[in-house]
Amino acid sequence: MPFTIAALVSFEEDIKKSRFQAFATPVESEQDVKDFLALYKDTTTTHQCWAWKIGHHVRFNDDGEPSGTAGRPILATIEGNELTNVLVLVNRWYGGIKLGTGGLVRAYGGAAGQCLLLAEKIELIEKKQVKFSCSFSEWAIFQYELQQQEIEFQEDYTAEGVAILAKLQVHQIEGLAKKIQDVTRGREQLRILEEQQQDAG
């Protein structure tokens, strides 16, 4: 059963005059990662090291620290907590005392670990991206339905009608597919987009 975290949490500690500040946040896509890192970019830091895991995809960055001393320990902490769809960013302000490679591994891994301890773990509900189309007159019905079920969606108005891209929890797919068939009298169908297309975006 995959788990993620419920919301953004942060943790700070000082180690030998260096200040470490960790943030852990749930993410659903690489775009979420980019947006978060852009938002939390801090030019006052000496290093901004991070790691994330989304499904089977992982990435980490040492941001100028010796290779393997920052990003990898942060990632190891995410995996050690059996979490996915999580990004952990650890900022460091250098205080003048070198920590050595072992000290850095412990400091970055430790800050990430303490931060994740503060987070509420929640079961990750698998979502799939779907798309369907409808006429302008049918859109109000679907819009109401999507909002009632708290489904994320984007609509795109075309000459023929409305094209909808939505993210559904797996158990919601069947119901919406049936609704589309009923409302459009079988003219339109729900299409599930494969993972590969999401990765490309």
What structural domains does the chain harbor? 3-123 (3.30.230.30), 127-200 (3.30.70.240)
Beta-carbon contacts of 169 under 8 Å, excluding residues fewer than 6 positions away, are 125, 126, 127
Residue 195 pLDDT: 56
Q: CA-CA-CA-CA torsion for 51, 53, 56, 58, nearest 10 degrees?
A: -10
With tokens 């852009």, the residue in question is 38
Q: Which residues of the chain, if any, have pLDDT below 50? A: 196-201
pLDDT value of residue 198: 40
What are the structure tokens assigned to 19, written together?
A: 């200040």
Whether 45 contacts 92, CB under 8 Å: yes
For residues 86 and 40, give the distance between their C-alpha atoms in angstroms, rounded to a whole number.
15
Length of the chain: 201
Give bridge partners of residue 47 from the DSSP assignment: 92
55-88: burial string, b at 16+ Cβ within 10 Å, e else? eeeeebbbbebeeebbbbbbbbbbeebebbbbbb
Please give the C-alpha separations between residue 14 and each of 74, 107, 110, 117, 163, in angstroms, as whole numbers: 17, 9, 11, 18, 52
So what's the pLDDT on residue 150? 86
pLDDT at 196: 44
pLDDT reported for residue 197: 40
- What are the pLDDT digits (tens) for 122-171? 988 878 899 999 999 999 999 999 999 889 899 999 999 999 999 988 88
Q: What is the mean pLDDT of the chain?
A: 92
What gap in Å lies between CA 198 and CA 128, rounded to an integer?
10
- Give me the pLDDT at residue 199, please: 39
**Helix/strand/coil for 39:** helix
